Amino acid sequence: MNIAITDNYKFSQNRNRSFPSFSSRINPIKPLKYPTSKGEVTIYEPTSKELLSGGLISDIVDFFTENLSKDTKDPGWLALGDKKNKNLISVFKKQFRYEIENLIKNDDGHLTISVAKDKNGKLCAGCMSYGYDEVPMAKNNTLYIENIAVAPEYRKNHLGDMLIKKVIDAEKAHFTDVFLVGENMAAGFYKKLGFKKLNPNNKNQRAIIDFMSELRWTDFPKYVSLFTKPIQQNATRWYDISGPVIRKLFCYIEY
């Protein structure tokens, strides 16, 4: 259940926000205990202080890097799973940390970083999401799940399901849809949660697909797919808002 992090690389540099008490200060996820076959874990949302000054970001970076480099066929991620590539891994982790720090500092209130820890305080799962700003007109209506990872020994406990459901539930009043770029190998997991792949036969969804193929040319569609799910059932779908804008901006594309 891995999601590539490659589109972490773009950030808006024009927003000036104070640090929130919670990573999603508008709708923070309340701490809860969750039973697993390995024992009870605690799911919670760290404060920005804990993330930025308590060393938790480094733990999160290490956790995502280790777990997202497994269960994938993407050579880029596989390289990060090879401990021989010390320099590559070091550079990647520094960049990843920088990007998380920027997400927190530029948070508009809808960034959610949720984690699950075992009784010893060790990370066993994590999820990060925010309003999607890579596609035109999507930020205010589309919740983007950037990363979701569960340690191998905690899988088959529905821990990943719980993290995604908690994030969606916390933001259901603000966002109409949720979108993620997921590993092809994990397609069954997302479909069980109600996600569907964007449909190339729909002109607006096709516009999103073409846009993403340019944005993520290194991994899409060979290693990952585009999944979406409605949150507010009666709302206009996000791709029916963003699609026409993209088609107008890139009118040279034939649909």
pTM above 0.75? yes
Structural domains of the chain, with CATH: 6-249 (3.40.630.30)
Task: Determine the pLDDT at residue 29.
Answer: 77
Across 116-125, average pLDDT: 95
pLDDT over threshold 60, residue 97: yes
Q: Give bridge partners of residue 148 from the DSSP assignment.
A: 127
User: Count of alpha carbons within 13 Å of 147, Cβ hemisphere only?
Assistant: 28
What are the tokens at 130?
């925010």
Across 121-132, average pLDDT: 95
Q: Are 226 and 135 in contact (CB under 8 A)?
A: no
Q: Are 61 and 67 in contact (CB under 8 A)?
A: no
Across 141-149, average pLDDT: 96
- What is the C-alpha to C-alpha distance for residues 192 and 198, in angstroms, rounded to an integer? 16
Task: Determine the pLDDT at residue 158.
Answer: 94
Where residue 19 falls among pLDDT bands split at 50, 70, 90? very low
CA neighbor of 31 nearest in space, from 178, 180, 170: 170
Across 223-236, average pLDDT: 97
pLDDT over threshold 90, residue 20: no
- What is the C-alpha to C-alpha distance for residues 37 and 160, in angstroms, rounded to an integer? 14
What are the tokens at 22?
């919670």
Residue predicted with more confidence, 139 or 30: 139
pLDDT over threshold 90, residue 199: yes
Backbone φ and ψ for 168, nearest 5 degrees, come out as -65, -45
Q: What is the mean pLDDT of the chain?
A: 87
pLDDT over threshold 80, residue 125: yes
pLDDT over threshold 70, residue 7: no
Across 6-25, average pLDDT: 35
- What is the C-alpha to C-alpha distance for residues 222 and 245, in angstroms, rounded to an integer? 26
Task: Determine the pLDDT at residue 17.
Answer: 32
- What is the C-alpha to C-alpha distance for residues 131 and 242, in angstroms, rounded to an integer? 14
Where residue 108 falls among pLDDT bands split at 50, 70, 90? confident
Where residue 107 falls among pLDDT bands split at 50, 70, 90? confident
CB-based burial label for 30 (10 Å; 0-12, 13-18, 19+): exposed
Task: Determine the pLDDT at residue 50.
Answer: 84
pLDDT over threshold 70, residue 104: yes
Among 26-40, 137-151, 189-203, whose mean pLDDT is lowest? Answer: 26-40
Task: Determine the pLDDT at residue 18.
Answer: 34
